[in-house]
């Protein structure tokens, strides 16, 4: 069965946690890079642990672009959250300009490297590839484009971490995933799941969850 994690804004985390069916988990959309202190308005990893929130999304493209979070900063966040016992969905992905310049893999590898340099135990890490040009634009990376990057990411992990980490780390795809395209994307060998945006608020989210069965039947 698919593992389902729902990630509402901070203020709704306890509400969603208590009302969601127990086999679905919750994730925060971000957390702070170090221990609590004078960081007004930030939510620390410790707070999430205290609330029994098991997952956090880090390095989302909107935080990288709008809030200028660097690769190293995201890497530090991932390492800190893991050290506190959280499971991390770590996001990587290129902009349209970077893709058109042919530097997709260079960008994605640099983002992944900043995480890999700080993480030794990958058990609680899920990598999310989200091409920035496909988020909320209705443009979707074709299944072939998604598979290509996922496959190259796995090759990068094999070369730079270990074959075991490369084969066991889930690499999920994010970027205008919908009920209409999820089965074709899910059928690709290196696409291990999805990071779903707007479609998660619609009934088609059920179809997206069920698309996990595609690999079993093939």
DSSP-based three-state secondary structure for 91: strand
Residues sharing a CB contact under 8 Å with residue 208, sequence separation 6 or more, in sequence order: 177, 178, 179, 182, 194, 196, 199, 200
Of 55, 25, 59, 29, the C-alpha closest to 43 is: 29
CB-based contact 64:74 (threshold 8 Å)? yes
For residue 16, count CB atoms less than 10 angstroms from its CB and return exposed for 0-12, middle for 13-18, buried for 19 or more.
middle
Active-site position among 69, 94, 130, 150: 130
Give the whole-angstrom CA distance, residue 203 versus residue 154. 32
Q: Which residue has the tokens 């966040």?
A: 77
Active-site position among 46, 60, 62, 100: 60
The pair of three-digit structure tokens given for residue 73, joined into one six-digit string:
């900063």
For residue 218, count CB atoms less than 10 angstroms from its CB and return exposed for 0-12, middle for 13-18, buried for 19 or more.
exposed
Q: Is 25 part of the annotated catalytic residue set?
A: no
Give the whole-angstrom CA distance, residue 20 versus residue 216. 26
Chain centre distance of CA 93: 10
Q: Is 60 part of the annotated catalytic residue set?
A: yes
Question: Could you list the active site residues?
Answer: 60, 130
């Amino acid at each position: 069965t698919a593992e389902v994690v729902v990630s509402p804004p901070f203020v709704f985390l306890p509400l969603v946690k208590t009302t969601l069916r127990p086999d679905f988990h919750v994730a925060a959309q971000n957390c702070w890079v170090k221990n609590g202190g004078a960081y007004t308005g930030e939510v620390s990893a410790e707070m999430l642990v205290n609330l029994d929130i098991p997952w956090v999304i880090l390095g989302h493209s909107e935080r990288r672009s709008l809030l200028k979070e660097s690769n190293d900063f995201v890497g530090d966040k991932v390492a800190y959250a893991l050290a506190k016992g959280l499971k991390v969905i770590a996001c990587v992905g290129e902009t349209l300009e970077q893709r058109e310049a042919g530097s997709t893999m260079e960008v994605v590898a640099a983002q992944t490297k900043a995480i890999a340099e700080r993480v030794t135990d990958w058990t609680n890490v899920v990598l999310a590839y989200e091409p920035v040009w496909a988020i909320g634009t209705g443009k979707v990376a074709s299944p072939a484009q998604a598979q290509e990057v996922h496959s190259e990411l796995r090759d990068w992990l094999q070369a730079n971490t270990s074959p075991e980490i490369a084969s066991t780390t889930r690499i999920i795809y994010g970027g205008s995933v919908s009920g209409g395209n999820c089965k074709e994307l899910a059928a690709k060998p290196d696409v291990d799941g999805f990071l779903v945006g707007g479609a998660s608020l619609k009934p088609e989210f059920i179809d997206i969850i069920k698309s996990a069965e595609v690999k079993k039947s093939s």
